[in-house]
Structure 1
Amino acid sequence: MVAGSIAEVSSSTVALERLWKAGILDTDKLMPQIASQFISSMKVLEGDGGVGTVRKYTFTEAVKAPVNFLKERVEVLDSENKIFKYSIIGGGLIGLRLKLCSYELKFELGSDGSSVGKLTLQYETLDDADLSEEEKGMLMEGPMGMMKAVEGFLLANPDAYT
């Protein structure tokens, strides 16, 4: 097994509270609307959106195989400190290449009033080979793409989530 992590930072001119509300707290409703070319459905299988909630994303054919669905479990939902952590518990590369896969997204206020989001991926492979650069890119592309879609929606709709 190989354990690793990847981190990526992104900034936005959208207010921190709006990003949090839209991208984290209302993701079940918003993502299928604004990313319908990639997400065909998103269902809450267990829970109320808080810690322990299990969601299933089913993807369209636009998403590369073997990622036709993902099941995630919310591990941390800290609205005060703007930290969201979740684990992939089914689908994607789980059981194929990965034993463990979890993400942490932390939002902070930038020095110039911008919002800064740091996405950290923690993973553990099933075998002794590390992930390829393509696999690492695929694992980061989905969550980063979702946040960029939320940002685009909020910029286009300045009264949403105020």
Structure 2
Amino acid sequence: MHGQLSEDTVVEVPAAVLWKVYHGVELGKLAAQLLPDVFGRVEVLEGDGGVGTIVKVTYPPGTPGPGYVKEMFTNIDNEMRLKETEVIEGGPKAAGFDVYRIRLQILEKDAESSIIRTSVEYEIDDKLAEMASKSKVTVERLGTLAQVIAKHLKQNK
């Protein structure tokens, strides 16, 4: 089974400013700093923020499911302001997903506002398809993060 979810979050921050945070490891650092009760600890295991970088998110105690996820940056397109990561261990992989890919794209709305497009693409064996429909696939955390990051950037110009 293949599937995709997508959500657009409109924020009052210029696209270029957002992309400086989203394109590398700064996003993970801010996620852990601004939303520790959601993202816990984020650490870079390998790389410098470019393609091939591997990060580990260790969720706070009490978070349902596997306690961590490792993601690899698989595509960073500065021209399109697009970043793709793929879960390589823990999280959805531990739950049975064959592929779990996250796409983050910053779209310019106007000079002072942007759209953060968050998408999740996944593949799972048809026998486990029910798992995908039981809230295992969501963009909710990343949508919340988009709003919090934008608020932080706006307040700290």
TM-score, length basis structure 2: 0.87
Deviation at 1:123, TM superposition (A): 0.3
Residue 18 of structure 2 corresponds to 19
Q: Percent identity?
A: 25
Q: Distance in 2 between matches of 1:135 and 1:28?
A: 21
Deviation at 1:133, TM superposition (A): 5.0
Deviation at 1:35, TM superposition (A): 1.4
CA contact (8 A) 1:23 1:147 kept: no
Aligned residue type for 1:21: K
The correspondence of residues 24-43 of structure 1 with structure 2, limited to 5 A, is 24-25=23-24, 26-43=26-43
The structure where helix makes up a greater share of residues is 2
Residue 82 of structure 1 corresponds to 81
- 1:81-121 deviations in Å (ceiling 9; x for gaps): 20101101111121323111001111111157520121221
- 1:43-73 deviations in Å (ceiling 9; x for gaps): 11111110000000111136x3104211000
Aligned residue type for 1:66: G
Higher mean C-alpha displacement, 14-23 vs 104-113: 104-113
Aligned residue type for 1:8: E
Residue 148 of structure 2 corresponds to 149
Name the SS of the counterpart of 1:37 in structure 2: helix
CA contact (8 A) 1:14 1:151 kept: yes
Q: Distance in 2 between matches of 1:29 and 1:8?
A: 22
Q: Distance in 2 between matches of 1:28 and 1:117?
A: 16
Q: Distance in 2 between matches of 1:23 and 1:105?
A: 8
Q: Distance in 1 between matches of 2:112 and 2:17?
A: 13
Q: RMSD in angstroms over aligned alpha carbons? A: 1.9
Q: How many residues align?
A: 154
Residue 47 of structure 1 corresponds to 47
Name the SS of the counterpart of 2:37 in structure 1: coil
Q: Distance in 2 between matches of 1:14 and 1:54?
A: 27
Which residues of structure 1 form unaligned runs of 5+? none
CA contact (8 A) 1:51 1:77 kept: yes
- Is residue 2:121 matched to residue 1:122? yes
